[in-house]
Amino acid sequence: MFNGKSILVTGGTGSFGKQFIRSLLENYTPARVIVFSRDELKQYEMAQDFTHSAMRFFIGDVRDKDRLITALVDVDYVVHAAALKHVPAAEYNPMECIKTNILGGQNVIEAAIQQKIKQVVALSTDKAANPINLYGASKLASDKLFVAANNMSGKAGTKFSVVRYGNVAGSRGSVLQLFDKIRTAGNGTFPITDIRMTRFWLPLSQGVDFVIKAFQRMQGGEIFVPKIPSIFMTDLAKAMTKDAEINVIGIRPGEKLHELMVTEEDSRQTLEFHDHFVITPAIKFFESVNYKQNKLHETGQAVAEEFEYHSGNNPEFLTVEEIKKLNKQIL
């Protein structure tokens, strides 16, 4: 679907953006791939590695709607990955987080509708499910904006959907990078906030594949949630070195024991497919959509009431050996 098309990625110099663009260029023949971000040094460094003739680099900020409108001329698809996502930084700088994650998201929506973009997929986070910090709250608000945008764009207009996933192993700032530094330095003591803590464990490449699949599946208004395995954080430490020592440092403000992706309150609107869940819109659109069958003709069924999907109740947990094997592919 991306052959001969133009795709713009906001926040395209980040971990996800680079992997998404790499996968795009390896598997399709796009006309243009546009990186839209505000850091010229990161763009310069990325341009040294991404030399494909389809590559374009636009300096811009999602806070600047006029610049977005210019960048989106003749674009077909948009991946919205730009965000302020550092939890403590968001708490210290709340309005900056709101300007980027909420107002910036609305700018992407309005610019996409004006330029008649075919489809937009916005990236979200587990922290948007029952948020307990500002970053999560801002992404929940952003999710709501992108879902409701389908009512603004009209029947034949831009379609908007959201992809929500948890911890991405190996992404910038990932705990895996921290643990690898500790292991490399020969220090076998790993800081863990609580021995009960679990996390979803999603390699970046699989996250990218899921987003590409979302473009193929989407009808507009869905929040897509992948089914992915969980790990115990203590097992991650054991996978780094056989003599791992655990230093329990206590749970941090804004941190949860388990990553939550589908809340009990969302269960009434949630459908289960073979490899993912779909949270359908809580609002009615002017056009009726059968979300039980997606564009790939996959069918889903309603989950039970009071269903929750989090990393602690996940039926699939990786063993220490499986974590080791996966980490070798990532590091």
Q: Is the pLDDT of residue 255 over 70?
A: yes
The pairing of strands 119-125 and 77-80 is parallel
Asked if residue 276 belongs to a domain, the reply is yes
Provide the whole-model pTM. Answer: 0.94
pLDDT of residue 171: 73
For residue 240, being part of any structural domain is answered with no
Write out the DSSP string of 115-132.
Answer: TT-SEEEEEEEGGGSS--
Is residue 206, in this structure, part of any structural domain at all? Answer: yes
250 domain-assigned:
no
- Domain of residue 221, residue span: 6-166+201-227+261-312
Q: Across the chain, what does the average pLDDT equal? A: 93
- CATH code of the domain containing 137: 3.40.50.720
User: Does residue 143 lie within any of the structural domains?
Assistant: yes
Question: Quick check: 298 and 274 in contact, CB under 8 A?
Answer: yes
Residues 127 and 136: beta-carbon distance below 8 Å: yes
Residue 173 confidence (pLDDT): 66
Residue 331 covered by a domain: no
In this prediction, residue 285 carries a pLDDT of 83
Report if residue 123 sits inside a domain. Answer: yes
Residue 117 lies in a domain: yes
- Residue 145 has φ and ψ, to the nearest 5°, of -65, -45
Q: Which amino acid is at 171?
A: S
Catalytic residue positions? 127
* Count, residues in the chain: 331
Distance between CA atoms of 265 and 93, rounded to whole angstroms? 30
pLDDT band of 284, cuts 50, 70, 90: confident
The shares of helix, strand and coil residues in the chain, as percent rounded to the nearest 5, are: 40, 20, 40
Does residue 129 register a pLDDT over 70?
yes
Q: What is the pLDDT of residues 23-51, one digit of tens each?
A: 999 999 999 999 999 999 999 999 999 99
Position 170 pLDDT exceeds 80: no
More confident residue, 129 or 155: 129
- For residues 92 and 184, the model is more confident at 92
How far is CA 227 from its chain centroid?
A: 14
Q: How confident is the model at residue 290 (pLDDT cuts 50, 70, 90)?
A: very high
What is the total count of domains within the chain? 1
User: How deeply is 3 buried, as exposed, middle or buried, from its count of CB atoms within 10 A (0-12, 13-18, 19+)?
Assistant: exposed
Residue 181: pLDDT band with limits 50, 70, 90: confident
What is the enclosing helix (H) or strand (E) of 158? Answer: none
